[in-house]
């Protein structure tokens, strides 16, 4: 099986993955993936996703191969499909793939190896959504009725697209906010300042300059003042509210520098939980083979 979009999974399957990740965090061990090989194929830059998939595979007893796009036969014109087919042919058991094209996995239908999507363009980021859900479940115990606002470059964000859909399916009340240039058609769009006091989760996003260039015309200071989590906005949050961000963070833009590690911030907890969420994903696809 593949995990390329959470929308392919039922709510029950998503809840099972969240609970499995929490079980791994609490010490669950599996020993039957020893010797399996997971290839990490990052055709687009990554720090968190790449190295936490690598850590997750190692924790399950797998070996990993880490592909370097800039030093590969891609530079000689080899296609995405042929590159992935190579890793299948040399004996890998699963592929973790990030690529800049939306739905790149549609080109890989001829492969006979599980694919874990580590991010496709502005489309999907299932492992990020899963680690976000793990972080929320740990904090609140359940999802139903929680209020979430996703703030920033929603239109070009695969994190926003994955989360908006899955959070709604899990019963959360999901809002988006930020510059109108980055508003996603059909999404519930609000003024950040109108809702901040009621939110359980504030999820901040980086402006995805690499996908569109800077079209907003805002200076960093302007953006921070109008749409960022300033200290003033932080002080309006409910006592129980948490702040999330998929990272990398632009300190002083979408969030004030001093708030990145504040009491309500779960940004580094998200990164920690990413290892367990990815263990659950790798375990699920290898277990299905
Ligand atoms: N959150 C996230 O996907 O980070 P990386 O781009 O560093 O993997």
pLDDT along the chain (289 residues), means of 10: 97 98 95 90 97 97 94 94 98 97 97 98 97 98 98 96 98 97 96 98 88 73 95 98 97 96 98 98 90
Residue 210's pLDDT is: 73
Please give the model's pTM, rounded to 2 decimal places. 0.95
Which protein residue's CA is at the shortest distance from atom 4 of ligand 1? 48
CA angle (231, 153, 155) in 5-degree steps = 150
How many Å lie between the centroid of ligand 1 and the Cα of residue 114?
21
* Pocket of ligand 1 contains residue 118 by CB under 6 Å: no
Which protein residue's CA is at the shortest distance from atom 6 of ligand 1? 46
* Residue 84 · residue 95 · CB < 8 Å: yes
Nearest Cα neighbor of 65 from 40, 48, 98, 42 is 40
Residue 243's pLDDT is: 98
Rounded to the nearest 10 degrees, what angle do helices 126-140 and 11-25 cross at? Answer: 70
Copy the structure tokens of residue 243.
Answer: 């702040």
Helix, strand, coil in percent for the chain, rounding step 5: 45, 15, 40
Residue 215's pLDDT is: 60
Ligand 1 mutation pick, 52, 246, 250, 278, max ligand atoms within 8 A of CB: 246
Q: Look at the block and give the residue holding tokens 């990052």.
A: 42
Residue 214's pLDDT is: 64
* Residue 267 · residue 246 · CB < 8 Å: no
Residue 10's pLDDT is: 98
Residue 165's pLDDT is: 97
């Amino acid at each position: 099986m593949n995990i390329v979009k959470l929308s392919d999974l039922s709510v029950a399957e998503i809840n099972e993955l969240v609970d499995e990740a929490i079980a791994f965090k609490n010490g669950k061990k599996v020993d039957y993936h020893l010797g399996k090989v997971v290839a990490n194929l990052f055709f687009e830059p990554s720090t968190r996703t790449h190295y936490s998939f690598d850590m997750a595979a190692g924790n399950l007893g797998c070996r990993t191969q880490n592909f370097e796009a800039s030093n590969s036969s891609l530079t000689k014109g080899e296609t995405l499909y042929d590159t992935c087919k190579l890793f299948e042919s040399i004996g890998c058991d699963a592929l973790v793939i990030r690529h800049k094209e939306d739905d790149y996995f549609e080109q890989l239908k001829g492969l006979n190896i599980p694919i874990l999507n580590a991010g496709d363009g502005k489309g999907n980021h299932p492992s990020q959504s899963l680690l976000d859900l793990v972080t929320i479940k740990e904090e609140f115990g359940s999802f139903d009725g929680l209020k979430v606002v996703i703030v920033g470059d929603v239109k070009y964000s695969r994190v926003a697209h994955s989360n908006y859909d899955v959070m709604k399916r899990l019963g959360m009340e999901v809002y988006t906010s930020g510059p109108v240039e980055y508003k996603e058609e059909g999404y519930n769009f609000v003024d950040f300042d109108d809702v901040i006091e009621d939110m359980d989760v504030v999820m901040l996003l980086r402006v995805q300059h690499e996908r569109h260039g800077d079209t907003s015309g805002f200076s960093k200071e302007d953006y921070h003042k109008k749409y960022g989590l300033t200290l003033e906005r932080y002080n309006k949050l409910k006592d129980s509210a948490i702040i999330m961000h998929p990272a990398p963070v632009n300190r002083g833009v979408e969030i004030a520098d001093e708030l990145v590690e504040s009491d309500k911030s779960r940004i580094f907890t998200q990164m920690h939980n990413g290892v367990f969420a990815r263990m659950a994903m790798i375990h699920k696809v290898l277990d299905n083979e």
